[in-house]
Structure 1
Amino acid sequence: MIARIAVPPSLERRLPSGLTVVAVQRNSVSLVEIRVSIPFARTPPAETLLLAQTLLVRAGRDWAVSADADFLRISGHALAEDLPVFLKDLADGLIGYSADEFMSVRSRVVAGSRIEKAQPVVLALDALNTRLYGQHPYGLPLPSPEQFAAVSADALRVLHTERVRPSGATLVLTGDLDPAVAVEIAGEALAGWQGEAPDVDLRPVPEPRPGPVELVDGRGPSTLIRIALPGCPPRTDVDYPALVVANLVFGGYFCARLTENLRERKKLCYGPGSALVSARCVGLVLVSVDVTTEFAGAAVREIDRELASLSDLGAEELDRARQYARGRLRMRASTQSGLADLVADLAAHSLRLDWLAGYDERLASISLGAVCDAAARYFRPERSVGVVFGDVAKVSKQLGERQ
């Protein structure tokens, strides 16, 4: 019997600048984890990614900055006693853009992008996203080296001025702190960060068109199979807990059916899997299987079989997956960094910590019928959108009607 999840003490306050600060107490070690999420929809991909790499260069501390189609994200940590100093360093990067080391960072990013654009994993995912969403921001591939090289420091300065603004942004602080005191410290340190950001939305998102898998020619020892099942509900939907459990049974952990079939019985691959992917405006299940080329067709057929049969699910499978889901949730929330990531992830979907307890209770009480219904609704093979990255001449002969 798993005990009810404990929600730690927290405080949320919206500052006059429009920045939302969420402070959560987790007194395990004398550290504070820092997460910032800034809405960044519909910004140029190359400029956005370069801005992420240069934003806090002058801060001289261990900050990590990343960006996707929805957000510019910043993460770091500090000794609890040093939190005011770290937040003031963060404020310096948020208030004004410095082009110090821009040229060297851009050169490094250009060189790194040449390597990334040669990676089959990147190319397969780019092809899948483009097939799903076309020219919508969710469908755009990783920028080319030439696109990165064409970005100027002036362009980043303009982008920073227009979009790195506190309105709509969220700051999460978790760790050895008093929530009320932490919010006051944040308000003082970031008082100089002001300005309204434009209200930009990624909707409408194109409706993906299911159909045969698309072959993408690529040489290498392996064939990469990436299959998406779009149209999954958000976390607030009544179906979401059942979707989580259904995905675990299908391919979301080591005891899943994909592993049992493709790895243990058929010996087709080593680590098949599936994961729920939740962007701000879309949700999907992503199936990832890497096989030697001679087994590509067989692997696709077995994936389809497992999708078609998932709604025939047993009580023992449900219980194992449910226990795993609830245990994983507690593991994620048990550390300061894990809790910070969880709170920031919830905030990105307009949710707060109080959602956590209700979600855990829904997992605990979910019925076999609800999970079977979710499997039948969201895991049908005819809903899938897929790409196969490999030697087209060899793979095409194996896929038959699936292409």
Structure 2
Amino acid sequence: MLNRTTAPEFQAIDHINLIEPGHTVLPNGCQVYWFNSGDQELVRMEWIFGNLRFDVAKPLLNMAVNTMLTEGTSTLSAAEIADKIDYYGAFLQAEYGYDQSNLTLYSLNRHLDHTLPVILDVLTDSQFPEKELDTFIRNQQQKLQVSLQKNDILARRAFNKAVYGNSIYGQSAEAADYQQLQRADMLSHFKQMYQPANCTLVVAGKVDDDTLQRITSAFGSWTNTAEQADITQPLLTPQTERFYFTEKPDALQSAIRMGIPMVNRAHPDFPALQVLNTVLGGYFGSRLMNNIREDKGYTYGIGSGISSLKHGGAFFIATEVGADVCRSAVSEIEKEIYLLKTELISEGELSLVRNYMLGSLLGSLENVFSHADKFKNAYFSGLTYEYYTHYTHIIKTVTAEELRQLANQYWNFDEFYKVIVGKY
């Protein structure tokens, strides 16, 4: 008989079990990975493409082409594409990222014969009609005008530009950049980028032999263009200036964003740096939250993180504080970093962070889609599932002394890029 007066025992997380994907390559070179789980008649299909080499003279092409993929083909208007997808209870979304862009379809298995032809039409015959392009440009310029009134967005834009320079990571759209978008450029970009040799298809859900056969039938004859996609990116060149201040005399709050270029997921130090980052500002009980929110009351929230990109990465701290305490907040941030460089983290705090990180990782694997997402994180970083074995091992075994050494190796506050928007 279950005794409900006794709480269950706490148990340490020993191992994370991940679903291994199936893999095949279509005759046209498209890589297909699938994750089969459960009995629900639902699949998520993601056609993922490497972004073309960044052109500083045409900085918005990657983003604009992906965003407008579903705005019409030679035979279907944007409304007709949406109607065909909606009629079968499916969902279609184009998503742009710095390194890859994708087209995602959620569909019932039994309707794939109707939804997959629409996707093929979009990926082979998108036309970027002039009318829709004009509307896109106008809407994006209006959104940009609103965004540029927000201190935190201005701070993020300035920080990315400082850390990543004139690259696809550091680019921040200006109103004039949208006016440069031309349909002819977008069509050329589309034909080079959206081809099977530059595509990885990740399928998750109920993926049986019938589903795989439908995919092969629909996309096996998809052909490559004569021009190979150039997805290499220029070397990152950070700015030399380290401090950026945009004064807003009437600001009630100041946005702070600071950090430094950092190793990405492929580097062996990355898992331990994630532990160190979590201690500093990676969760609600972090030192930055305890000091600057709970103790000082300078902000509603502050956090830190490590962004991992294909060709680089960055450690960053971000917050908005009362304008009158901005300088004090910066001093407290510096103090917390100094303490991690000089004093050992207590075993109690380190144990709490270990349990939080392992629990978060386990909690993030709630369904088959989550397993596919973990696979993509490793795959597009050039890693295998061994990364997660290494990651969990480091979380469980990294010592306080090793973390102090990493803090001294990677965190020189004098070299941080510091961006302040508001008052200082």
Cα gap change, 1:329/1:352 in structure 2, threshold over 3 Å: closer, same or farther?
A: same
Q: Secondary structure at the match of 2:311?
A: coil
Instruction: Give the distance between the partners of 2:234 and 2:305, measured in 1 at CA.
Output: 23
Cα gap change, 1:70/1:382 in structure 2, threshold over 3 Å: closer, same or farther?
A: same
Asked whether 1:17 is paired with 2:17, we answer no
Q: 1:117 aligns with which of 148, 165, 169?
A: 148
Cα gap change, 1:321/1:81 in structure 2, threshold over 3 Å: closer, same or farther?
A: farther
Instruction: Give the distance between the partners of 2:50 and 2:99, measured in 1 at CA.
Output: 6
Q: How far has the Cα of 1:182 moved from its partner?
A: 4.5
Q: Secondary structure at the match of 2:419?
A: strand
Instruction: Give the distance between the partners of 1:36 and 1:166, measured in 2 at CA.
Output: 9
Instruction: Give the distance between the partners of 1:28 and 1:321, measured in 2 at CA.
Output: 36
Aligned residue number for residue 393 of structure 2 = 361
Contact 1:7 1:354 in 2 (8 A): no
Residue type matched to 1:224 in 2? Answer: A
Q: Secondary structure at the match of 2:406?
A: helix
Cα gap change, 1:153/1:298 in structure 2, threshold over 3 Å: closer, same or farther?
A: same
Aligned residue number for residue 400 of structure 1 = none
Q: How far has the Cα of 1:183 moved from its partner?
A: 4.3
Q: Secondary structure at the match of 1:76?
A: strand
Aligned residue number for residue 372 of structure 2 = 340
Instruction: Give the distance between the partners of 2:352 and 2:112, measured in 1 at CA.
Output: 41
Q: Secondary structure at the match of 2:364?
A: helix
Aligned residue number for residue 241 of structure 1 = 271
Cα gap change, 1:108/1:210 in structure 2, threshold over 3 Å: closer, same or farther?
A: closer
Q: How far has the Cα of 1:273 moved from its partner?
A: 0.3
Residue type matched to 1:368 in 2? Answer: A
Q: 1:291 aligns with which of 304, 321, 325?
A: 321
Instruction: Give the distance between the partners of 1:28 and 1:145, measured in 2 at CA.
Output: 48
Cα gap change, 1:65/1:388 in structure 2, threshold over 3 Å: closer, same or farther?
A: same
Comparing 245-254 and 159-168, the one that deviates more: 159-168
Contact 1:210 1:383 in 2 (8 A): no
Instruction: Give the distance between the partners of 1:28 and 1:302, measured in 2 at CA.
Output: 53
Q: Secondary structure at the match of 1:295?
A: helix
Contact 2:26 2:216 in 1 (8 A): yes
CA RMSD of aligned residues (A): 2.4
Aligned residue number for residue 309 of structure 2 = 279
Contact 2:256 2:318 in 1 (8 A): yes
Instruction: Give the distance between the partners of 1:84 and 1:6, measured in 2 at CA.
Output: 33
Aligned residue number for residue 168 of structure 2 = 137
Cα gap change, 1:74/1:120 in structure 2, threshold over 3 Å: closer, same or farther?
A: farther
Cα gap change, 1:389/1:234 in structure 2, threshold over 3 Å: closer, same or farther?
A: same
Aligned residue number for residue 377 of structure 1 = 409
Contact 2:163 2:260 in 1 (8 A): no
Aligned residue number for residue 216 of structure 2 = 187
1:261-313 residue CA offsets vs partner (Å, 9 max, x unmatched): 10111111110001110111111111001001101000111111111111421
Q: How far has the Cα of 1:206 moved from its partner?
A: 1.3
Q: Secondary structure at the match of 1:34?
A: strand
Residue type matched to 1:42 in 2? Answer: F
Instruction: Give the distance between the partners of 1:174 and 1:364, measured in 2 at CA.
Output: 30
Q: 1:304 aligns with which of 334, 340, 348?
A: 334
TM-score (norm 2): 0.84
Structure 2: 5+ residue stretches without partners: 1-11, 72-77, 86-90
Q: 1:82 aligns with which of 90, 106, 111?
A: 111
Aligned residue number for residue 314 of structure 1 = 346
Q: What fraction of aligned residue pairs are identical, expressed as a percent?
A: 21
Cα gap change, 1:9/1:181 in structure 2, threshold over 3 Å: closer, same or farther?
A: farther
Instruction: Give the distance between the partners of 1:333 and 1:228, measured in 2 at CA.
Output: 30
Residue type matched to 1:285 in 2? Answer: F
Aligned positions of 1:141-160 closer than 5 A:
141=172, 143-160=173-190
Contact 2:196 2:223 in 1 (8 A): yes
Contact 1:124 1:226 in 2 (8 A): yes
Contact 2:162 2:241 in 1 (8 A): no
Structure 1: 5+ residue stretches without partners: 396-403
Instruction: Give the distance between the partners of 1:37 and 1:126, measured in 2 at CA.
Output: 26
Residue type matched to 1:36 in 2? Answer: W
Q: How far has the Cα of 1:127 moved from its partner?
A: 0.9
Instruction: Give the distance between the partners of 1:47 and 1:9, measured in 2 at CA.
Output: 35
Aligned residue number for residue 398 of structure 1 = none
Residue type matched to 1:387 in 2? Answer: V
Q: Secondary structure at the match of 1:45?
A: coil
Contact 1:223 1:388 in 2 (8 A): yes
Q: Secondary structure at the match of 1:139?
A: coil
Contact 2:54 2:234 in 1 (8 A): no
1:41-75 residue CA offsets vs partner (Å, 9 max, x unmatched): 31533233222221023332432223244222333
Instruction: Give the distance between the partners of 1:130 and 1:236, measured in 2 at CA.
Output: 23
Contact 1:132 1:209 in 2 (8 A): no
Instruction: Give the distance between the partners of 2:164 and 2:364, measured in 1 at CA.
Output: 31
TM-score (norm 1): 0.88
Contact 2:298 2:329 in 1 (8 A): yes
Q: How far has the Cα of 1:84 moved from its partner?
A: 4.7
Contact 1:37 1:344 in 2 (8 A): no
Contact 1:78 1:86 in 2 (8 A): yes
Instruction: Give the distance between the partners of 2:360 and 2:39, measured in 1 at CA.
Output: 19
Instruction: Give the distance between the partners of 1:236 and 1:296, measured in 2 at CA.
Output: 35
Instruction: Give the distance between the partners of 2:46 and 2:260, measured in 1 at CA.
Output: 30
Comparing 202-211 and 340-349, the one that deviates more: 202-211
Residue type matched to 2:126 in 1? Answer: Y
